[in-house]
Amino acid sequence: DAGVIQSPRHEVTEMGQEVTLRCKPISGHDYLFWYRQTMMRGLELLIYFNNNVPIDDSGMPEDRFSAKMPNASFSTLKIQPSEPRDSAVYFCASSFYNQPQHFGDGTRLSIL
């Protein structure tokens, strides 16, 4: 079975550029989560969706970050403009109802 698929796996870009991270959840899962992981702050929830609707975005650091889920099989996390402090590993996870979350392999983002 295909797991959660994220792209790209690695992204290196200069500050000020727009960055778009993509996620395809496991088919049939109705929850989708975006996390950010850094050494300093650990794994932090940014936003999550239920049935494509954003439920809680209180973890989104600022207006430079936005996330969308246009359909049940696709979500994006966008940073515009990007800053060096946004460098982190971004994980997408999905789950069915209250079952355990399954994580994608992550996108390692470096902003120069």
For 1-23, give one letter per residue: b (16+ CB within 10 A) or e. Answer: eeebebeeeebeeeeeeebebbb
Q: Does 1 bind another protein (CB under 8 A)?
A: no
Tell me the β-bridge partners of 102: 94
Least distance (Å) from another protein to the CB of residue 22?
A: 16
Q: Does 96 bind another protein (CB under 8 A)?
A: no
Q: Are 47 and 67 in contact (CB under 8 A)?
A: yes
Q: Does 28 bind another protein (CB under 8 A)?
A: no
Q: Kindly indicate which of the ranges 21-29, 50-58, 60-68, 72-80 contains the residues binding another protein, using the contact rule CB under 8 A.
A: 50-58
Choice from 21, 36, 48, 86 touching another protein (CB under 8 A)? 48
